[in-house]
């Protein structure tokens, strides 16, 4: 490539899109999601409920018992309602975000569990085939009892032949063998 010339556009790469006039704000999705999970966990505790109850009680007491010029909610608790609505409007999406992240983690764990179960099932099938082949091989192997019975029958055969040989020798030793006459 010659120096000074811009690189030619390739057909296998998409064209660059135009940059927007106003840049969108960027944020770290993981950090924000982590914050949402921590917030949702905190909102689900008794500690949060106690602090929220204390806040509402102090608000009520102050706006009922404080001198008129020191009250900050002139109308009957309209500002308190606005504050609680604002808190709820932010809490609901944060809780949903935390639930979505948990759902994604659960999907990953479920997929890992499914894959582990498939591997375990394949291993069990392999081991079952191996055990079956070992059983078949053991069926063809001579057992101790079979060998003993075979050796006993061979021993009895040898004993019988030994007796026959002794008889043959005793007959041969006592009598001279007859020779055929010519």
What pLDDT shows up at residue 69?
Answer: 85
Instruction: Say what the pTM is.
Output: 0.49
- Which is more confident, 2 or 50? 50
Contact 15, 9 (CB under 8 A): yes
117 SS3 class: helix
Q: Which residue has the tokens 């009680």?
A: 57
Q: Is 36 exposed, middle or buried (0-12, 13-18, 19+ CB in 10 A)?
A: buried
Distances (CA, A) of 111 to 92, 101, 106, 115, 121: 28, 15, 8, 6, 15
What's the mean pLDDT when you consider all of the chain? 85
Say whether pLDDT at 39 is over 80. Answer: yes
Domain boundaries of the chain, sorted by first residue: 32-140, 143-172
């Amino acid at each position: 490539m010659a120096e000074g010339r811009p690189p030619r556009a390739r057909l296998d790469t998409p064209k660059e899109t135009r940059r927007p006039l106003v840049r969108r704000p960027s944020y770290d999705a993981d950090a924000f999601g982590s914050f949402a999970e921590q917030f949702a966990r905190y909102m689900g505790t008794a500690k949060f409920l106690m602090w929220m109850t204390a806040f509402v009680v102090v608000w009520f007491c102050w706006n009922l018992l404080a001198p008129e010029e020191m009250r900050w909610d002139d109308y009957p608790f309209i500002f308190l309602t606005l504050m609680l609505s604002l808190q709820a409007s932010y809490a609901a999406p944060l809780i949903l975000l935390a639930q979505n992240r948990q759902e994604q983690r659960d999907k990953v764990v479920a997929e890992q569990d499914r894959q582990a179960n498939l591997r375990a099932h394949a291993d069990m099938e392999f081991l079952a085939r191996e055990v079956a082949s070992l059983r078949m091989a053991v069926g063809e192997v001579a057992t101790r009892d079979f060998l003993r019975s075979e050796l006993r029958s061979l021993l009895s055969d040898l004993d019988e032949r030994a007796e026959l040989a002794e008889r043959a020798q005793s007959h041969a030793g006592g009598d001279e063998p007859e020779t055929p006459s010519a």
